[in-house]
Structure 1
Amino acid sequence: MKDLEDWAAVQKVYKQTKSKRATAKILSISRNTVKRLLDMTEPPVYRRTEYSSKIDEYKELIIEWRCDPYNYNGTRIFRELKERGYTGSIGPIYRFLGKVDEDVGSHISKKATVRHESPPGDQAQFDWTEYEVLVGNRYRKVYCFSMILAASRKKAVCCSLKVDADAIYEAIQELYEDLGGITLELLIDNPKALVIENNPKSEDEIRYNPHALMLAKHLGTELNACPCYWPRKKGKIESPFKYIENQFIKGNDFANMEELNRRLKKNVDEWCNETHTTTRRIPNQHYLLEEKALLLPLPKGRYRIKKMQSRKISPDSFVNINSNKYSVPVKYVGKTVLFRINYGFRIELYDAKENYIMSFEQIDKKHQTLSNPEHYEAIAPKVSTSIPQIRRDFTQRYRNGARYLEAAGRKFDQPTHYARKIMELQELYSLDVMDQLIGIAVEEDRMDIKGFKSLLKEYNDGKRELAKSMQDSIPVPPLPEAALTRDCSYYEELCKGDMSCRQ
């Protein structure tokens, strides 16, 4: 629309210059063009040039042959026209037939679709797509599996690093569990893991993968493969992928795959609390009110096509999988466990009877160790055995701790021995009670563990009264760090009377 742009520019510049010559110079066009455009009272309108075609004189005949009772195809019409003197090619005939098929008679467009609304509990649709996702500071190809209940439009999703048969079967079962039950029918696409043959030109029944049929039997549902090259058949499951990409994937990054799955599931569940644009209902409410009760119960276990591998737990409570070590609870030390790697990143651990133990994400590198301190709590010492750590813990835990260590250091060779014994009793008493009794032990010179336990007995028998809280007792300023360290002169004085020290 160059003329329209020129006309608008000339009108604008001329209003400022009031000169055709100046307008032409500014816009770098001729004065005649400026004059012509100024003479137009209305903006120029684009008019498409009509070109003649060799089929123009035959159009009425083509329409007649396309309709009843002839219903000729393009090749037959081309042959008939050639006999009547048509000298052109077959291309213009097919282009004209495309318009005829849309406008003439009872022709129905190939895009026409009958919307099918399934009753609650009847159908779920399953599919997946792939995204480039920033996981662990690098972009990875992630496969997003999704399932939607056709009636309520409630959705469930999960992500994987693989899209093999194991991952597909696992995703179907996980998503059904997230939806809380099984539908009578599962509408699927045609991957080889599910469908072996679905020829749209054949009248033969669809050939499903035997493992897919076993999975369907295990779940209690029936597979229904949609026609090839007909995505509108499963349109309900196609549209959520665009929403997930635009509203969740773009602009987000994730520490690992477990975080991605957790956040995506939460995001989709929140989305299901919004009104659906087609049903005008909230999917989660629709599901709870009308569909959940009609779903079939979930099976007790999961169908799997591969056996789990076994490993023996090492004495330091680690399991070695693919050159990496992962800690497990110490009660499994020396026992044989089973494991499987799910979705290409999730390691699931089971005992010898295939009871689930735990799961964790596979380390992306080799020869790494992943340790969880909680796995060692059953055998971990309640109090540190390191002397420096005992001193730090005792002084940080109790206000009278520094006083005790300073006083005990003048009396005992190993004051931290008694400090450790006192801290082992902490589980039985409150921090205030222990702190006040430590102060009394220092004042009454009952700092050994026997003397301290006798103080505890007096407190338990009601013979020893304490302040209600540490705020009611006299505050004791902490000693400097140097007071916690015994000077070497102490040992020199000790050795003066002991000949063995000089040897």
Structure 2
Amino acid sequence: MKNLEDWAAVQRVYKQTKSKRATARLLGISKNTVKKLLALSEPPEYQRTEYESKINSFKEQIIEWRCEPCQFNGTRIFRELKKRGYMGSIGPIYRFLKKVDEDVGGHISKKATVRHESPVGDQAQFDWTEYDVIVGNRYRKVYCFAIILAASRKKAVCFSLKVDAESIYEAIQELFDHLGGVTLELLIDNPKALVIENKPKSEDEVKYNTHALMMAKHLGTELNACPCYWPRKKGKVERPFSFIQEQFIKGNSFATMEELNHRGKKFVDDWCDEKHATTKRIPNQHYLLEEKQVLQPLPASHYRMKQLNKRIISPDSFISIDTNKYSVPVKYVGKTLKYRLIYGFRIELYDSKENYILSLEQSEKRYDTISNSEHYEAIAQKVSTSIPQIRRDFTGRFTNGGRYLEAAGRKFDQPTHYARKIMELQELYDDHVLDAFIGVAVDENKMDIKSFRSLLRDYNSGNRELPLDQADSLKEVDYCDDNPALTRDCSYYDFAIEEEPACNS
């Protein structure tokens, strides 16, 4: 049957031509079609051909199997119908079951949800996802743990290379630390690290992992496992993951996992300064004004599944962990420290009483040595003991340094010995003062350290002035009366250790 446009065109053209043949020729259709369309007094209507479905004779049986007490799924019904002679595919069965489910459910969609808004301090939601992230110039699978306060929508994240039980427990506690308190309830998913068994259709209570219960008791919160395969129950914490991937992970790379954690936390903190689309409030403000003060206090320490490992610090102040050596502050040399490895990359060090000391990032290499110069500052030499380095430092710092070493070399067996002693006075005098008297020492042949100190004592007591060129440069600097370089008492320079007399070459 031709459509409405064809019928209207035939009616219009025929009124002008008064000829069926001419109408058919102008419209490019057959004469018989023109006759049929002219015979219709009203516009044609589309009539869909109805085909009998192969499941029609089985519909009552399908409804019976779908309802209680059987409650068969689509695959089971398909298998049972084939035994009874059904020759069709599984598709019509699923389409019919969708209608059955709607009827049985009182015409209420399965997606229908009652939004729950928790009072402040009541609930936090915890979950994680994985990303492929460029860390250290290569892609790595990284797990992002996230927690959100259900009331204020304040969020916190941390990143890990592992998603084992120890990492999950540590992440929950670290994220609560970041939030500054603990909620009365923690809504969680159903991983084995947290939930052993959760059967919503049974009347049995949820069986939680023993360590998870101990961690929750340690925190002062109560675990609440959401129903299996029901992500909308914890939708508040599910939604941010896609935003983090699109706005932070994509297009960024990170030198280390610690850098990823630092930048990721800052990104989420900044995000919490933006108005939330649902609450129409700024999460950080909502949190600070209403929720932070009602959170439960944090425990003094973290719950741990395992005992800490022990290591004795070597004389060169290194701790050995998994074939690698890491420097620690020298005050721990010879002492026993405790450590643990978490998130697959972070080493945490503790003293013998399990007080936290510092964190290190685990090296990916084997037999590697990682040293931090700051750990050796307490015993570091203020002036080098290497003769070539002393020469370089002395001539680099002082304009009269080269002249002194040349003159002292003709008088002493080891001129760098005295050059080093002079540089050790840097804690007492500025370099320009030392430089001036280095020149005086050369001119007056008072280059041994005892004579040099005598020059400085005379200067400090007012019995000797700086050379004119140095004094002129000092006028440009505003020194007050209590400047340490000018007002030390003479007794400050009465050194207890007597120097050996200078030896002439």
Q: TM-score range by the shorter chain?
A: 0.7 to 0.9
Contact 1:317 1:327 in 2 (8 A): yes
Counterpart residue number, 1:343: 343
User: How far 1:51 moved relative to its partner?
Assistant: 4.7
More displaced stretch, 375-384 vs 387-396: 375-384
Q: What whole-Å deviation, never above 9, does each CA across 1:348-403 have from its counterpart, x for those lacking one?
A: 11111111111101110111111111111222211111111001101111122122
Q: Which amino acid aligns with 2:212?
A: A
Tell me which of 45, 52, 55 is aligned to 1:54.
Answer: 52
Counterpart residue number, 1:481: none
Flag structure 2 segments of 5+ consecutive residues without an equivalent: 1-24, 30-44, 65-69, 475-504
Alignment of 1:367-406 (within 5 A): 367-406=367-406
What is the aligned-residue RMSD (CA, Å)? Answer: 3.3
Counterpart residue number, 2:197: 197
Q: Which amino acid aligns with 1:132?
A: D
Counterpart residue number, 1:118: 118
SS at match of 1:424: helix
Distance 1:402 1:139, change over 3 A: same
Q: Which amino acid aligns with 1:202?
A: S
Distance 1:402 1:74, change over 3 A: closer
1:358, 1:105 → 2: CA distance? 58
Contact 1:146 1:157 in 2 (8 A): yes
Q: Which amino acid aligns with 1:136?
A: G
Contact 1:55 1:93 in 2 (8 A): no
Distance 1:470 1:346, change over 3 A: farther
2:289, 2:103 → 1: CA distance? 45
1:326 matched to 2:326? The reply is yes
User: How far 1:185 moved relative to its partner?
Assistant: 0.3
1:423 matched to 2:428? The reply is no
Count of aligned pairs = 419
Counterpart residue number, 2:21: none
Q: What whole-Å deviation, never above 9, does each CA across 1:444-473 have from its counterpart, x for those lacking one?
A: 221110111001111221222236985835
Contact 1:74 1:94 in 2 (8 A): no
Counterpart residue number, 1:449: 449
SS at match of 2:52: coil
Q: Which amino acid aligns with 2:459?
A: Y
More displaced stretch, 389-398 vs 461-470: 461-470
Counterpart residue number, 1:157: 157
Counterpart residue number, 2:38: none
1:103, 1:293 → 2: CA distance? 48
Q: Which amino acid aligns with 1:396?
A: G
1:279, 1:445 → 2: CA distance? 82
Contact 1:126 1:188 in 2 (8 A): yes
1:306, 1:361 → 2: CA distance? 20
Percent identity, aligned pairs only, is 70
Distance 1:100 1:312, change over 3 A: closer
Counterpart residue number, 2:295: 295
Q: What whole-Å deviation, never above 9, does each CA across 1:263-307 have from its counterpart, x for those lacking one?
A: 111111111111111111111111101111110110001100100
Q: Which amino acid aligns with 1:286?
A: H
Distance 1:141 1:48, change over 3 A: farther
Distance 1:276 1:54, change over 3 A: same
Distance 1:202 1:104, change over 3 A: closer
Counterpart residue number, 1:439: 439
1:276 matched to 2:280? The reply is no
Counterpart residue number, 1:264: 264
Q: Which amino acid aligns with 1:52?
A: E
1:141, 1:190 → 2: CA distance? 21
Distance 1:467 1:272, change over 3 A: farther
User: How far 1:98 moved relative to its partner?
Assistant: 2.9
Counterpart residue number, 2:35: none
2:176, 2:213 → 1: CA distance? 16
2:450, 2:103 → 1: CA distance? 105
Distance 1:147 1:467, change over 3 A: farther
Contact 1:432 1:469 in 2 (8 A): no
Q: Which amino acid aligns with 2:339?
A: F
Counterpart residue number, 1:206: 206
SS at match of 2:360: strand
Q: Which amino acid aligns with 1:373?
A: S
SS at match of 1:223: strand
Contact 1:54 1:88 in 2 (8 A): no
Flag structure 1 segments of 5+ consecutive residues without an equivalent: 1-31, 37-46, 67-71, 475-497, 499-503
SS at match of 2:303: coil
2:46, 2:437 → 1: CA distance? 102
User: How far 1:116 moved relative to its partner?
Assistant: 0.6
Counterpart residue number, 1:175: 175
Q: TM-score, normalised by structure 2?
A: 0.76
User: How far 1:103 moved relative to its partner?
Assistant: 8.4
1:51, 1:464 → 2: CA distance? 120
Counterpart residue number, 2:307: 307
Contact 1:74 1:93 in 2 (8 A): no
2:97, 2:303 → 1: CA distance? 53
Counterpart residue number, 1:252: 252
User: How far 1:109 moved relative to its partner?
Assistant: 0.3
SS at match of 1:145: strand
SS at match of 2:111: coil
Q: What whole-Å deviation, never above 9, does each CA across 1:432-454 have from its counterpart, x for those lacking one?
A: 22122212222222111011100
Counterpart residue number, 2:478: none
Q: What whole-Å deviation, never above 9, does each CA across 1:79-122 have from its counterpart, x for those lacking one?
A: xxx9xxxx996964762463476589942100001111111111
Q: TM-score, normalised by structure 1?
A: 0.77
More displaced stretch, 205-214 vs 459-468: 459-468
Distance 1:88 1:341, change over 3 A: closer
Distance 1:92 1:139, change over 3 A: closer
1:317, 1:48 → 2: CA distance? 90
Distance 1:73 1:181, change over 3 A: closer
1:291, 1:439 → 2: CA distance? 69
SS at match of 1:358: strand
Distance 1:468 1:339, change over 3 A: farther
1:73, 1:340 → 2: CA distance? 50
Contact 1:467 1:473 in 2 (8 A): no
User: How far 1:53 moved relative to its partner?
Assistant: 3.1
